[in-house]
Chain A
Amino acid sequence: MKFGVITFPGSNCNQDMIYVLREIMNQEVVELWHKDSDLKGVDFVVLPGGFSYGDYLRSGAIARFSPIMESVVSFAKKGGYVMGICNGFQILCEAGLVPGTLLHNNNQKFICKNVFLKTVNNNTLVTNKIPTEKILKIPIAHGEGRYFIGNDGLKSLHDNNQILFNYCSESGTVSDEFNPNGSLENIAGVCNLQKNVFGMMPHPERAADTELGNTDGKLLFESILNNVLA
């Protein structure tokens, strides 16, 4: 499978993502530049984490107008697979490819730590290999990760099973106590209605190498390959 990882000015998780896809998952990876408009025939586009364009105005707001994003939007509209992690998720929200938006954490702090995630929908391209009862431990690292959406949007997320993950306790309790950033209903990741565009704040690429002592994130990459290659 051919993955494309986009580098925006200020991306800083692109190399981690490329490493995991290339070295751990043994996949072909093309590095895409924000000024390109050619997606080079990739099957799956990844928007990595970082601080694209210095997070000026709002995180993701300027990156959305990069030449490459026009191609990503039309690729996604045709059913192409796109995933945004952290800043990539913020960009997808600003581009309107996934519903909702991400605000400053409710405690005004940048939070960098492992969190626990409960998979809400195990039947998507990125979650299908995650066992139903499995609680994932995956790190977050963000200052603006408070997911928000209006009431109608929230209802639509529920009605169409678009919520991917909730922040929870180690044993799977979803409550305010285990909500690191004030996200609405502990939402940590969502997908679009058509279920080909995925966004999440936690970093699975930072939890995919046995050398790092945690491979929970690898389940997402295995899900992608399982579904597409099957």
Chain B
Amino acid sequence: MNFIAEIDIMPQKALLDPQGKAVTSGLNNMGFKEVTNARIGKHITLELSAENEEEAGKKVEEACKKLLANQITESFEYKIIAS
């Protein structure tokens, strides 16, 4: 079966996210005064084949841990969708 994995990788909450901080002040300067914080991460889409959804999830989890996210500074979440 073919699946699509939608992966979100975010800097851990306790860490300074300078990119997010710059965007927050940019938005504030443009008049979006109600924006109090922005955090910026990555969205990765993987297309993969696997026996079933559980297997696909295991592969994606492994890919995130081994390469896609650096667990010292980033957290990840994913959704598996049958395609």
Mark A residues whose CB is within 8 Å of B.
57-58, 61, 65, 94, 100-101, 103-108, 148-150, 153, 182
How far does the alpha carbon of A153 sit from the alpha carbon of B73 in the complex, in Å? 13
Mark B residues whose CB is within 8 Å of A.
11, 15-16, 18-19, 22, 67-68, 70, 72-73
- Chain A: minimal CB distance from B64 (Å): 12
**Do B67 and A108 touch across chains, with their CB atoms under 8 A apart?**
no
**Do B19 and A108 touch across chains, with their CB atoms under 8 A apart?**
yes
Q: Is the interface of B mostly helix, strand, loop or mixed?
A: mixed
What are 21 A-B pairs with beta-carbon distances under 8 A? Answer: A57-B67, A58-B70, A61-B70, A65-B67, A100-B72, A101-B70, A101-B72, A101-B73, A103-B11, A103-B15, A103-B73, A104-B18, A104-B19, A105-B18, A106-B18, A108-B19, A108-B22, A148-B73, A149-B72, A150-B72, A153-B72
**Do B67 and A148 touch across chains, with their CB atoms under 8 A apart?**
no
Contacts of A61 in B (CB 8 A): 67, 70
How far does the alpha carbon of A94 sit from the alpha carbon of B67 in the complex, in Å? 9
How far does the alpha carbon of A149 sit from the alpha carbon of B72 in the complex, in Å? 7
